[in-house]
A and B are shown apart, each in its own frame.
Chain A
Amino acid sequence: MKKKLFLLSSILLLVSTLMWVKDMLEPEWKQYQVEYYEQQRKAVEKQLQSTSGEEETAELEAKLVKLQKPKYEIKQILLKGDYSWADQSNGQKTDRCITCHIDEAKLAASHETVVKDFPFDIYGCTVCHGGTGRSLDEEHAHHGIFKHKRAMRQRLEHADVLFDMWNEFATLSLEDDTEWASFKDRTITGEKAIYMGSGKCMRCHTGLTAPHVERWKRVKFESFNVIKEAPDYIAGDEDYRKKCYECHTTGYNKETGTYEEEGITCEACHGPGEVYASFMDRGKATEGQKIAKITPAYNKCGGTEGCHRSRRHEMRVKFFRDSKDHDPYEWFKPKYKRIVSEALEKKKSGTAEEVDPALPKHNIKFVR
């Protein structure tokens, strides 16, 4: 009996030891790499059969030799940033996801909307997808993961989730002075947030925030309609018009030269509405507000980037200077034109003694 027990426990010890050794030599992640390199090797072999050029063949053969003896290893992305306990974080972050998800071409293809702005080797994976980046077994690594866009959007329980992600983007970014505000046009999937159009806002806000809405609707919403009639806009080509779009439209994209909506509407100042509109739709207006009210962070007003920068109409000055058919005042400073002409009319009819001294004096000179 005792001998049998001893034998049994010895066998158990041996088996468990062998299991540990096997686990060390053949970890779970290795099989993914074996599969990947196998695929790559087959693809190269196939290519090799169809090519005839000497140089190409040599190149492919060299590639094949490498693939026949691949190096299986843990791959990791060391992430930038100081994740200290004081910030309720648990130390330096490392994403080892690419150890199993090794096919970079495949990853790039499935992330084509974001990979350009957020390269894998800088931003890693967990900033958007969650999970445990350090871990190398599936159960632990995928714990609390946001696998698809749908899962990421479900994550948006409150606005702070988005702010935290912007913050983390800023931390991970290679430029030291990047702030979270640089990523304010991003939604929770890392893609650029969609402009919903002022019509969506108006459904509720014409009644809710009437004075603010009325004021902007009357003046700035019409801004594009005004410039549409301007002679320089009509005469100008698309490149010239793009300069107008920059400020007089909503959601202008500098790269493509397209805009989302004509006129300076809600989202021009409040930012793209995808996230906050969805919060408001779901009855979480207070959460939506937090995002919609970061308006000043969009720098729309002044500064060097904003619309109200100095010399912003310089190109128009040139047009009116060159043109003889148009009265510059009519199109360039319509307000002054109106005031001056009204004052002159009064003087002509004799109802007013003289021009109001408080009238602003223009100091723009046109040299013909």
Chain B
Amino acid sequence: MNLILYFIRKLTETEVWKSVFRHGYTDTSRNRALQTISNVWLHLHPVKVPKHAVKIRFTWCLGGLTFFIFLFLTVTGVLLMFYYVPDVNRAYADMIDLMYVVPLGRLLRTSHRWAGHAMVITVCFHMLRVFLTGSYKAPRQFNWVLGVLLLVLTFLLSFTGYLLPWDQLGYWAIMVGTNMGAATPVMGYQGPFAELLGVKINNDIRFALLGGTQIDAPSLLRAYVWHCIGIPIIAGALMILHFWRVRKDGGISGPL
């Protein structure tokens, strides 16, 4: 017993140990705060959690769920990128192969798809909860704006991911979606003011989304790059801001 304690003391006195665990276990308020703040991983959590914050029935943990699903989608998405090639001649075949030939590939693909649907649902419910509890009011009005941007980005992630299987469902969904873009005022060639501003089929928002005047290889590549790189990076950056502002705007909202 003494030997074990001796080794533990020896270990905790080493330079390496002290570099990692910098603040010991002294149970004072200050030390507990230091433990959290001086660790890059732990500092993501608040030093102190108000009692009402752990009550599930106020927030329903919807924001947290959304973020968890986002992380899950990132992991499964990266795994899917190992098998999927965004080439019009291969995309659909790759997806079928994923379903039938890759071990647990079907689980990978279906869970990514269902999680995508789930994220849209939880993010909507999250917004509804924030609205109903009045948590968008000052001082949290800026975070509400960030939240709206994140909602739009979630929809865009869902939209761009829809084309990637390159099946009939996705193809026609993108056809409808981008044609709606074409009818948008100012930005689309079919919308109001298009002629006035010289917006044509080859320079409007639809052209930007499709990379051409019709759905073809560039559209798939654009959807892929936006889905896997562009939007996740922007959404991730905004999420950092969003979570940071939750803390800075008075902690997680609770009952008055």
Contact = CB atoms under 8 A, between A and B. Distances in A.
Interface of A: 20, 23-24, 74, 83-85, 90-92, 94, 96, 132, 134-137
B104 A92 contact: no
The 6 closest A-B pairs by CB, nearest first: A85-B88, A136-B100, A91-B89, A134-B96, A91-B93, A90-B92
Contacts of B103: 24
B195 interface: no
B104 A24 contact: yes
Contacts of B87: 91
B93 A90 contact: yes
Contacts of A132: 96
A91 B92 contact: yes
A137 B101 CA distance: 11
Contacts, number: 41
Contacts of B90: 91-92
B107 interface: yes
A84 B92 CA distance: 12
In this complex, which of B97, B100, B216 has the most chain A Cβ atoms within 10 angstroms of its Cβ? B100
Given A85-B217, A91-B89, A20 B96 contact: no
Given A85-B217, A91-B89, A134 B97 contact: yes
Contacts of B91: 91
Contacts of B88: 84-85, 91
Contact of B93 (A20, A23, A24, A92): A92
B107 A136 contact: no
Given A24-B103, A135-B100, 9 more contacts: A85-B216, A90-B92, A90-B93, A90-B166, A91-B87, A91-B89, A134-B97, A135-B99, A137-B100
A75 to B, nearest CB: 12
Contact of B107 (A20, A83, A94, A137): A20
Contacts of B89: 83-85, 90-92
Contact of A20 (B99, B100, B104): B104
A85 B217 CA distance: 9
Contacts of A137: 100
Nearest to B102: A24
B57 to A, nearest CB: 12
B236 to A, nearest CB: 28
23 contacts: A20-B104, A20-B107, A23-B106, A24-B103, A24-B104, A74-B100, A84-B88, A84-B89, A85-B88, A85-B216, A85-B217, A90-B89, A90-B93, A91-B87, A91-B88, A91-B90, A91-B92, A92-B90, A92-B93, A96-B100, A135-B96, A135-B100, A136-B101
User: By CB atoms of chain B within 10 A, which of A23, A74, A84, A85 has the most?
Assistant: A85
Contacts of B101: 74, 136
Interface string B74-112: 000000000000011111110011011101101100000
A252 B103 CA distance: 54
B162 to A, nearest CB: 17
Interface string B19-40: 0000000000000000000000
Contacts of B216: 85
A84 B103 CA distance: 27
A132 B104 CA distance: 20
Nearest to B91: A91
Contacts of B100: 74, 96, 134-137
Nearest to A19: B107
A94 to B, nearest CB: 8
Contacts of B166: 90
A90 B216 CA distance: 12
Contacts of A83: 89
Interface in B176-229: 216-217
B60 to A, nearest CB: 15
Nearest to B217: A85
Nearest to A92: B93
Contacts of A134: 93, 96-97, 100
Nearest to B95: A134
A135 B97 CA distance: 8
Nearest to B89: A91
A23 B100 CA distance: 11
B172 to A, nearest CB: 15
Nearest to A136: B100
Interface in B37-95: 87-93
A341 to B, nearest CB: 71
A83 B101 CA distance: 21
Nearest to A87: B89
B25 to A, nearest CB: 31
Contacts of B217: 85
A141 to B, nearest CB: 9
A24 B93 CA distance: 20
B55 to A, nearest CB: 14
A91 B101 CA distance: 17
Nearest to B97: A134
A200 B90 CA distance: 48
A91 B167 CA distance: 12
Nearest to B90: A91
Contacts of B107: 20
